[in-house]
Amino acid sequence: MYLLSLCVSFFLLFCEFAHASLSSATCSTTPPINRVPIYPEDVELLRFALNLEHLEAEFFLFAALGYGLDGIAPELAMGGPPPIGAKKANLDKVTQRIIAEFGYQEVGHLRAIKSTVGGFPRPLYDLSAKNFAELFNHAFESPLVPPFDPYLNSLNYVLASYVIPYVGLVAYVGTNPNINGYQSKRLLAGLLGVESGQDAVIRTILYEQAEEVVHPYNYTVAEFTNRISNLRNELAMCGIKDEGLIVPKKLGAEKRTTSNILSANFDSISYARTPAEILRIVYGTGDEHKPGGFLPKGGNGAIARSFLKMP
């Protein structure tokens, strides 16, 4: 009995000590070595990302909900025009929930960027089925019959989604070395983390169907991803920084696999792209000075507009 009493007393003493320790725990981060939250040169680099975040927000929200940013947080559009051709997609329940979540996440990204470094009005986007059809025709170097429609069904929509988040991912990786402020770095890291997650989810969904033929076309899901990745490499004109779901072993992780759920370089590090490369891709023209594709009137912000002023 004495031993039991001693054990109980010890246990109560331990609990009191543990509670005191937890009560004094801190959740604050270590003060940064660099005490400047946002450098002036950080601002436009972070604002440039709004061109992609707005694009993703509208594409995801419309597909899942039937309405875009104007129906969720119209103040974030800052008076910019609504997208052309965006509409609700014919999605199965699981895909609809995933895409809706992605859309809401993009709203948060827009708010985070604009509340940190300011922003600009939403650019004009072309999210029409016709624009996507032209993009896929370009990727396959011949017209698909019937024209590819991203809103037709879940598989088509996820294939179309394959086109977008990865561009944001490599843009953030490319921006990272040029960001200096500790608040800027925290923002970029947080954006990159979620953007990478979205891309991974999309690629995983498609990988599970990699060998399936996309009806009514005589191409597999894997071939679709390879074609889109090759097109982005071609448009950006800076070598291989984009890979489909199935690759030669020489491009696989440690040259030991042909599966390629995550696109990465020789050391399995994410690829990086510059703003010029990004614009060449989203314009669909291979020229950062020539708008088109998703941004028929060009991107907004000082960086994108500076290219439009060049001869």
Of 126, 120, 110, nearest in space to 79 by CA: 120
Of 132, 117, 13, nearest in space to 62 by CA: 132
Q: Using one digit for the tens of pLDDT, what is the confidence trace for 193-224?
A: 999 999 999 999 999 999 999 999 999 999 99
Average per-residue pLDDT in the chain? 93
Q: 3-state class of 295 per DSSP? A: strand
Is 241 a residue whose pLDDT tops 60?
yes
* Mean pLDDT of the region 249-271: 95
d(Cα 211, Cα 205) in Å, to the nearest integer? Answer: 12
Q: 3-state class of 285 per DSSP? A: coil
Q: Using one digit for the tens of pLDDT, what is the confidence trace for 48-88?
A: 999 999 999 999 999 999 999 999 999 999 999 999 999 99
DSSP structure string for 174-232? HHGGG--SHHHHHHHHHHHHHHHHHHHHHHHHHHTTTTSB-TTSS-BHHHHHHHHHHHH
Are 291 and 283 within 8 A, CB to CB? yes
Is 173 a residue whose pLDDT tops 50?
yes
pLDDT band of 190, cuts 50, 70, 90: very high
pLDDT at 24: 61
Q: Using one digit for the tens of pLDDT, what is the confidence trace for 113-138?
A: 999 999 999 999 999 999 999 999 99
Q: Which of 23-27, 29-33, 140-144 has the lowest mean pLDDT?
A: 23-27
d(Cα 224, Cα 15) in Å, to the nearest integer? Answer: 59
pLDDT band of 16, cuts 50, 70, 90: low
| Domain spans in the chain, listed from the N-terminal domain onward | 38-309
The answer regarding whether domain 38-309 maps to CATH 3.40.50 reads: no
Q: 3-state class of 149 per DSSP? A: coil
